[in-house]
Structure 1
Amino acid sequence: MTTFDIVIRNGMIVTATDKYIADIGINGSKIVDIGFDLKGHETIDATGLLVLPGGIDGHCHIEQEEADGTIHEDDFVSATGSALLGGTTTVVCFASHVPGRGLVEQFDAYRRKGANSRIDFAIHQIITRTDEQTIRDEIPVVAERGAAGLKVFMTYDDFHLSDGQFLQVLEAAHKSDILVSVHCENYDAIRHLILKHLAEGRTEPHGHVTSRPPCVEREATYRAMTMSELTHQKIQIFHVSCPEVAEEIGRAQSRGVKVVAETCPHYLTLTEEDLKRDGFEGTKYICSPPLRTKAAQEGMWQYIRSGVISIISSDHCGYTFDGSVGKGRHGRDADFSLIPNGMPGLGTRLPVFYDAAINSGKIDLTDFVRLTATTPAQRYGLYPQKGTIAPGSDADLVLWDPKKSVTITNSLFQSNIDYTPYEGRSVQGWPVKVYQRGKLAMDDGKLVAPPGSGQFLKAREK
């Protein structure tokens, strides 16, 4: 009988399609066998635990350069440590496209930054301009070098593309057979509403919500899908915040438009009321699109269950609360339009979503795996190396205790970011061990994987 390097015994294996109790035999970095009574040089008893594929977070802003020269405060060491502590073994993060440097140069530089990662990573390439060099020469190169996708913005001063520019990107992506993901909000409408708010003296954090109502997200989403339909290019709508937008996506999908969608735990568990917290505290909850109402939150679940929304990502975008380049970089009396947009979420993604989705009976365990690991692996060209538990796949495994109750506090995640929006929230279900490519990477809240143990993942043909 074969003796494996590691055997994980008697756990409830959960994939996107099945749940069953069996042993997993691991040699080196790979799952080699699944069966019963397997023998290992090292045996881990997983009785009473779930064994899940390592989480894949397809939307993470890590050590990313901005147009103003600032760099996101959560670097690869910190962010990927937080990811492991929350059960995530792969991230897809973003290479910038700031002025003055070419696309390929920035993609390659960002890949080098990732050498410090504790976990495996892939890269989305942001596109902020459509000069001939970018469109004709460089998009094909980053596609060939394994970018998981391109990202475009329909809002933000330093990022947004016009409809004509967006069409150029879609046509270039179609030629290179690469996915385009879109931040959908109407730039001009938001600018109009912000100026109106400021003229009326409405500067408090909650003004961020009222200056970006659901209709500006819905309209931009419809427009993005129309251009997808025109060019026959597949797109992904990032961070869907409300059912009105999901409804538009479902209609487009039903008529054959090549569109898929993701949402994030904060749209399912937090609300716009959090931006009304006393003083500067509400800025912790500023993100775009903004948090919505409790009713909108409840309405999102039907679109998750139906598959209209098929990925749960964190949109981790960590700005410190007290740091000099964080939420207060323009002073604590700054109006809402000057507050950096984004919240940390890499470490909390799986526990918060599990508690909200599974403990309330909203979805099944197989759906949880599909949304957080399998579909992201498939969408970003990483499957079946990642995202499932099967012979030949990487031994990226999470031993999950479904009965463990934890009160979330930021210190659990050992992050460069000094707050979590879930501080004090109690959840049931928590990762207790994480294996990355067959090596123990996290053990009962202790990081084992050192910086630099992650690998760049070149996206293969989708």
Structure 2
Amino acid sequence: MTRYDLVIRGGTVATAADVTTCDIAVCDGRIVALGEDLGPAEEVIDARGMVVTPGGVDAHCHLDQPTSDGSRFADDFASGTISAAFGGTTTVIPFALQMRGQNLRDVVADYHAKAAGKAVIDYGFHLILSDLTRPEIMQELPALIAEGYTSFKVYMTYDDLKLSDRDILDVLDLARREGAMTMIHAENTDCIAWLTERMLREGKTAPLYHALSRPAAVEREATHRACTLAEIVGTTALIVHVSAGEAIEQIRAARARGLRILAETCPQYLFLTIDDLGGPGAQGMKCICSPPPRDKANQELVWRALADNTFDILSSDHAPFSFDDAAGKQRRGPDTPFTHVPNGVPGIETRMPLLFSEGVLKGRIGLSRFVALTSANAARIYGLPRKGSLAVGADADIVIWDPEREVMITNGRLHHRADYTPYEGRMVTGWPAVVLSRGTVVCRDGALLARPGQGRFQARSRPLTPATGGAADGYRGRPRG
């Protein structure tokens, strides 16, 4: 009789396709069997009464990323991946940022050096393309794609990152030829600049004006334009961190015309609103991100788009700037104009628990949809065939959830290095009890058991478009609230 390394026994096992009750057997870091009464094993984890899902794939996060304005990200690959793991994420794909004038090979080498010996879970890299003026850039990209860097992000805004529409067309065309994925930050840079200059002339510098300088129309127009550019080239594009119902409608309209447009949103658009930027004193700085959170009615539009398959992925867009740090949000003091506040919020650890609690357990989405949004679709879209699944042959990246555990989110219980969380004081139900990466327990009941450097770089295959149709969800937990 086969003796397994590990058997997880009797849990409610969820994939993006179905939900069942069974055992999961693991050998040499891979899932080797699913069934009833599997064993014997070197280790047995009793998961009866628990929910078992694939480890999360956070396909949009920023770790140890350089900036051009003197600000500094709080998390490196050690603290960032530890925080991710405690929240149920077992693979991250942060960004390797090309600063203007940089060679892409040098960028990739720099990020490998940043991650080496630090990551406790597996990781890959997206490239950020900010400068196509060097002739070798478009020659380097095909070779890098072949080596496993199969996705890149382009920006329509930010002076030090934005590409022209013509440059974006060149990137999309190369992605089409090479089978890569282009991620697009869709906001109209000229509209933002015009509105911002007007507000500054009128002395409107408080955090709230960050949101008012980036109204939904700015995102709607750029989303329409991004879809149009992809249509002209005849390729797939993924619109990242979609915040507004108007942008959602542009994505639906593009798909109705037969375009291959994928979409991502983030927890900040489900749980924060524009009112959070208008908090007392400098507190609103904590919630400055781009696009900004919208109003309460817009939150419901985002929830509906999660449920009806408009969104393919829920990522954190973890951008951990501290609030009080000299290189953080208030680096120019409590009266820092919104134009000088670093953009982004921390959220790599809270991404999955927030959606499990407020999505699955409140009946907004089913458990299979939860798995698709947080794990399976990102693995398929970004070319990680052994991630995001509980199938035989997959990496044993597994989360065992206690669906009854109530947790108040406070920054003191989280593991990132930012000095705040925008979700401070929020109660959630359901929290990871045990998290495994390739069959090894990374954390259990609040204790870190992994060592730095345990995570491995994942060279990715050319992306696959995910199945976004409805799935048999099966488990919705006990409705609450």
TM-score scaled by structure 1? Answer: 0.98
Deviations 1:57-81 (A, max 9, x none): 0000001112346552210000000
Q: Which residue in the other structure is 1:220 paired with?
A: 222
**Which residue identity lines up with residue 325 of structure 1 in the other structure?**
A
Q: Which residue in the other structure is 2:65 paired with?
A: 64
User: CA separation in 1, counterparts of 2:100 and 2:315?
Assistant: 28
User: CA separation in 1, counterparts of 2:343 and 2:149?
Assistant: 25
Find the partner of 1:168 among 145, 157, 170: 170
Deviations 1:137-187 (A, max 9, x none): 121122122114110000011111111111121122222221000100000
For residue 101 of structure 1, report the CA deviation from its aligned partner: 2.2
User: CA separation in 2, counterparts of 1:163 and 1:299?
Assistant: 29
Q: Which residue in the other structure is 2:103 paired with?
A: 102
User: CA separation in 2, counterparts of 1:113 and 1:45?
Assistant: 37
Does residue 324 (structure 1) correspond to residue 319 (structure 2)? The answer is: no
For residue 372 of structure 1, report the CA deviation from its aligned partner: 0.5
Q: Which residue in the other structure is 2:374 paired with?
A: 372
User: CA separation in 2, counterparts of 1:67 and 1:134?
Assistant: 23
Structure 1 segment 4-43 matched on structure 2, within 5 A: 4-39=4-39, 40-43=41-44
Match of 2:125, SS?
Answer: strand
User: CA separation in 1, counterparts of 2:315 and 2:45?
Assistant: 29
For residue 301 of structure 1, report the CA deviation from its aligned partner: 2.1
User: CA separation in 2, counterparts of 1:220 and 1:322?
Assistant: 33
**Which residue identity lines up with residue 400 of structure 1 in the other structure?**
W
Structure 1 segment 60-459 matched on structure 2, within 5 A: 60-68=61-69, 71-115=72-116, 116-383=118-385, 385-459=386-460
CA contact (8 A) 2:71 2:328 kept: no
User: CA separation in 1, counterparts of 2:135 and 2:112?
Assistant: 21
Deviates more, 1:59-68 or 1:126-135: 126-135
**Which residue identity lines up with residue 87 of structure 1 in the other structure?**
G
Q: Please tell me the root mean square deviation across aligned C-alpha atoms, in Å.
A: 1.2
CA contact (8 A) 1:139 1:173 kept: no
Match of 2:34, SS?
Answer: strand
Deviations 1:305-346 (A, max 9, x none): 221111000000000011111101222211111100000000
Match of 2:301, SS?
Answer: helix
CA contact (8 A) 2:151 2:183 kept: yes
User: CA separation in 1, counterparts of 2:101 and 2:183?
Assistant: 23
Match of 2:176, SS?
Answer: helix
**Which residue identity lines up with residue 295 of structure 1 in the other structure?**
A
For residue 135 of structure 1, report the CA deviation from its aligned partner: 4.0
Match of 2:196, SS?
Answer: helix
User: CA separation in 1, counterparts of 2:70 and 2:453?
Assistant: 25
**Which residue identity lines up with residue 429 of structure 2 in the other structure?**
Q
Match of 2:4, SS?
Answer: strand
CA contact (8 A) 1:14 1:50 kept: yes
For residue 272 of structure 1, report the CA deviation from its aligned partner: 0.8
Match of 1:372, SS?
Answer: helix
User: CA separation in 2, counterparts of 1:299 and 1:434?
Assistant: 32
Match of 2:99, SS?
Answer: coil
Match of 2:262, SS?
Answer: strand
TM-score scaled by structure 2? Answer: 0.94
**Which residue identity lines up with residue 56 of structure 2 in the other structure?**
G
Gaps of 5+ in 1: none
User: CA separation in 2, counterparts of 1:450 and 1:71?
Assistant: 25
For residue 242 of structure 1, report the CA deviation from its aligned partner: 1.4
Deviations 1:330-374 (A, max 9, x none): 222111111000000000000111112112211100100011010
User: CA separation in 2, counterparts of 1:341 and 1:184?
Assistant: 15
User: CA separation in 1, counterparts of 2:136 and 2:213?
Assistant: 33
**Which residue identity lines up with residue 412 of structure 2 in the other structure?**
S
Match of 1:381, SS?
Answer: coil
In structure 2, the CA distance between the partners of 1:270 and 1:134, relative to structure 1 (3 Å rule), is: farther
**Which residue identity lines up with residue 6 of structure 1 in the other structure?**
L
User: CA separation in 1, counterparts of 2:337 and 2:66?
Assistant: 23
Deviates more, 1:174-183 or 1:314-323: 174-183
User: CA separation in 2, counterparts of 1:72 and 1:300?
Assistant: 28
User: CA separation in 1, counterparts of 2:406 and 2:147?
Assistant: 43
Deviates more, 1:247-256 or 1:296-305: 296-305
Identity of aligned residues (%): 44
Match of 1:143, SS?
Answer: helix
User: CA separation in 2, counterparts of 1:178 and 1:9?
Assistant: 39
Does residue 52 (structure 1) correspond to residue 53 (structure 2)? The answer is: yes
CA contact (8 A) 1:242 1:292 kept: yes
Deviates more, 1:233-242 or 1:65-74: 65-74
User: CA separation in 1, counterparts of 2:374 and 2:257?
Assistant: 26
User: CA separation in 2, counterparts of 1:430 and 1:388?
Assistant: 20
CA contact (8 A) 2:104 2:137 kept: no
Match of 1:279, SS?
Answer: coil
Q: Which residue in the other structure is 2:472 paired with?
A: none
User: CA separation in 2, counterparts of 1:317 and 1:410?
Assistant: 15
User: CA separation in 2, counterparts of 1:292 and 1:400?
Assistant: 31
User: CA separation in 2, counterparts of 1:330 and 1:259?
Assistant: 40
For residue 134 of structure 1, report the CA deviation from its aligned partner: 4.6
Deviates more, 1:205-214 or 1:106-115: 106-115
For residue 37 of structure 1, report the CA deviation from its aligned partner: 1.0
CA contact (8 A) 2:103 2:137 kept: no
User: CA separation in 2, counterparts of 1:223 and 1:346?
Assistant: 30
For residue 243 of structure 1, report the CA deviation from its aligned partner: 1.2
CA contact (8 A) 2:70 2:327 kept: no
Match of 2:282, SS?
Answer: helix
